[in-house]
Amino acid sequence: MTADRTGPVLQPIGPFDVDLLAELHHRCFTAIWDRPWNAKSFADVLAMPGAAGQILSVGDAPVGFGITLQAVDEVDVLLIGVLPEARGAGLGPMLLDSLLSAAASRGAARALLEVAAENRAAIATYTKVGFTICGRRKQYYPGPTDAILYERALNSCRIDDKSHQ
C-alpha cells in the first residue's frame, strides 16, 4: 500500500518487531477476557510455518497490527488490533482487508477467526465485512466469556466492496 507520510501505511512484520508487537498488544487489548502476549509469544507464533502479519502506521507512529496463520487454503486471523485513540477511522477494516488479500494471494479460500462474545465493536466490524457465525466456544476466555467463531469465504471481492455494506 502506498500513502503520503501522514496517511496509513502497512508493512510486513519482521522478526525484530516482537517488542513493538507486545507493546501494541498491551495497549490494544485491555478487556477482562483478553490474554496478554509478550515478545516471546509473538516470536513463537511468527516462527510457525504459515505465520504472517502486518504493522499499521499513521505517519511515523505504529497504531495497529494483525497476525494470521495459514494452512493450505485456510487462514486464521489470530490477532488484529488498533490502538483505542486510532479507532473509528476505518483502520481496522483496512488492515483486515490487507491481511485477507495477502492470504488469498497465497492460496487461502476461507478465513476463520474467534472473538469474545462481549466484544461488540469487533463483532460489528466482522459482520459488516462478510464474516458469519460458524460456532461458539463456551467460557473460552476469562470472565468467563464465550468465544464466537466466524468464517468468511475469500474471493476476488475486497471487504470494502459495496456488496457487503
| Domain parsing of the chain, residue ranges | 8-164
Contact 125, 92 (CB under 8 A): yes
Residue 55, beta-bridge partner list: 11, 65
Helices in 10-69 by DSSP H: which ranges? Answer: 18-28, 39-46
What are the pLDDT tens digits along the chain (165 aa)?
444 567 899 999 998 999 999 999 999 999 989 988 999 999 999 999 999 999 999 998 999 999 999 999 999 999 999 999 999 999 999 999 999 999 999 999 999 999 999 999 999 999 999 999 999 999 999 889 999 999 999 975 445 444 444
* Burial (CB count <10 Å: 0-12, 13-18, 19+), residue 4: exposed
pTM of the model: 0.88
Task: Give the fold, CATH level 3, of 8-164.
Answer: Aminopeptidase (3.40.630)
Contact 124, 93 (CB under 8 A): no
Task: Pull the grid cell for residue 27.
Answer: 495497549
